[in-house]
Amino acid sequence: MRILQISAAYKPAYIYGGPTMSVAMLCEQLANAGCKVSVFATTANGVSELDVTPNQTVTIDGVSVIYFKRITKDHSHLSPALLTAVWRNVKTYDAVHVHAWWNLVSVLSCFIAVMRGVPVVVSPRGTLSPYSFQNKNRFIKLLIHNLLSKPVLKRCHIHATSLRESEAVGSIITPKSSTTIPNFVKLPVDRPATKNPVAAPIKLLFFSRIEEKKGLDLLINALPLIQAKYHLTIAGSGGQDYVDSLKQLAADNGVSNKITWAGFINEKKFEVLQKHHLFVLPSYDENFGNAVIESLSVGTPVLISKQVGLADYVDKNKLGWLCETSAVSVAEMIDQLAVLPLEMERISRQAPGIIDSDFSTDSLVEKYIGFYTKIAKKH
């Protein structure tokens, strides 16, 4: 089966966080399973460009990738060369899989593929939800949505990574079909034999891209309300202005001395996750949450908001706790958990095995291939 994957950013553009890694893992697992996978991406790497040769096919971890220059350096990622390549080559593929939305690579590539009569899968990856319309560039999004998105997406198949995302997308568009399959998540090869017991101060960890929707402001506002002894590590990067505003918020709350800003961590992320007692992600909106699975895979319990796509999974499997998107709720939950060391240690023992079983690559790759085969046959 020949599948074209289209993503504005592809590894090693890790600056974009979980979505970039999830797309790469999907492509690699499909290639390992015998599918003919090609990736069209841009040279995007934040405000800079990847050090790659444009318009040439390169093999990255078994996947054929072509990077195309973009002529805008923001999140629009306009790339005429990529769009031209889509127009010329798209009919040679059995299916096209477009990742994310609200950038010109995704929207225009999707439009071209639909016009050329090829079955299209769109993975919004958190970009098609009511929250996305309330956030940045609201009026531009509404204009694009009414003029282009709705009529084009009616002719596409939606891939959601969680039930919550599927419901959010379904509330604003009516696609040809909607299928829910979790992300591939890279799990640790080796785990430490034991985990440090829960003891004061409780070691809290925020591990994610630092952006508005992640709710880090809620967590920082919760800190002065917490009665238990704690220390928070913030691992991740983001826009400097926003990061500076959060550091000022911590100073205003008088909690700067209780926070370590660790910056972006990649290679040693499982070691960092394992050393903490509790992973905290109070997002305002989150379609999946790769770091939730990564944390649980090394036995670190999670406290996440009900707006995180994996909230139902965490609650059903008793792998952590859910909070509201408010500072008071976050603080109250942390204080409750601080006096539940035995429950946290139970999760530490049981979570790795549950995650290994539920997120095995063999099971997930079969679901993705079955999905592509089904829509290709229907088409």
pLDDT 10s digits, 140-171: 777 778 778 889 999 999 999 999 999 999 99
Q: What is the pLDDT of residue 71?
A: 94
Mean pLDDT of 50-69: 96
Residue 128 has pLDDT above 70, yes or no: yes
Angstrom distance (rounded) from CA 117 to CA 49: 32
Confidence of residue 89 (pLDDT cuts 50, 70, 90): very high
Domain assignment of residue 186, yes or no: no
| Mean model confidence pLDDT for the chain | 93
Vertex 83: Cα angle to 78 and 88 (nearest 5) = 170
Domain assignment of residue 187, yes or no: no
Same domain (yes/no): 207, 347: yes
Domain assignment of residue 192, yes or no: no
Same domain (yes/no): 33, 154: yes
Q: What is the pLDDT of residue 174?
A: 93
Domain assignment of residue 14, yes or no: yes
Which amino acid does the sequence have at 352?
P
Same domain (yes/no): 212, 161: no
The total number of structural domains in the chain stands at: 2
Same domain (yes/no): 175, 32: yes
Q: What is the CATH number of the domain that holds 348?
A: 3.40.50.2000
Mean pLDDT of 214-238: 97
Same domain (yes/no): 173, 281: no
Residue 277 burial (10 A CB sphere; 0-12, 13-18, 19+): buried
Model pTM score: 0.88
Same domain (yes/no): 110, 144: yes
Vertex 166: Cα angle to 163 and 168 (nearest 5) = 110
Mean pLDDT of 92-106: 95
Confidence of residue 193 (pLDDT cuts 50, 70, 90): low
Angstrom distance (rounded) from CA 214 to CA 174: 27
Mean pLDDT of 277-305: 96
Residue 212: CB partners within 8 Å, gap ≥ 6? 135, 242, 284
Vertex 213: Cα angle to 208 and 217 (nearest 5) = 80
Domain assignment of residue 304, yes or no: yes
Same domain (yes/no): 215, 111: no
φ, ψ for residue 79, nearest 5 deg: -140, 90
Same domain (yes/no): 329, 292: yes
β-partners of residue 158 are 122, 178
Same domain (yes/no): 139, 250: no
Ramachandran class of 17: left when φ > 0, alpha when ψ lies in -120 to 50, beta otherwise = left
Is residue 299 a contact partner of residue 321, using CB atoms and an 8 Å limit?
no
Residue 59 has pLDDT above 80, yes or no: yes
Same domain (yes/no): 283, 338: yes
Instruction: Give the percent of the chain with pLDDT over 70.
Output: 98
Domain assignment of residue 30, yes or no: yes
Domain assignment of residue 189, yes or no: no
Domain assignment of residue 219, yes or no: yes
Same domain (yes/no): 166, 210: no
Instruction: Give the percent of the chain with pLDDT over 90.
Output: 81
- Please choose, from the candidates 161, 185, 171, 105, the residue with its C-alpha nearest in 3D space to the C-alpha of residue 132: 171
Q: What is the pLDDT of residue 90?
A: 97
Query: In which domain, by residue range, is 369 found?
Result: 2-180+360-378
Same domain (yes/no): 238, 253: yes
Angstrom distance (rounded) from CA 103 to CA 75: 6
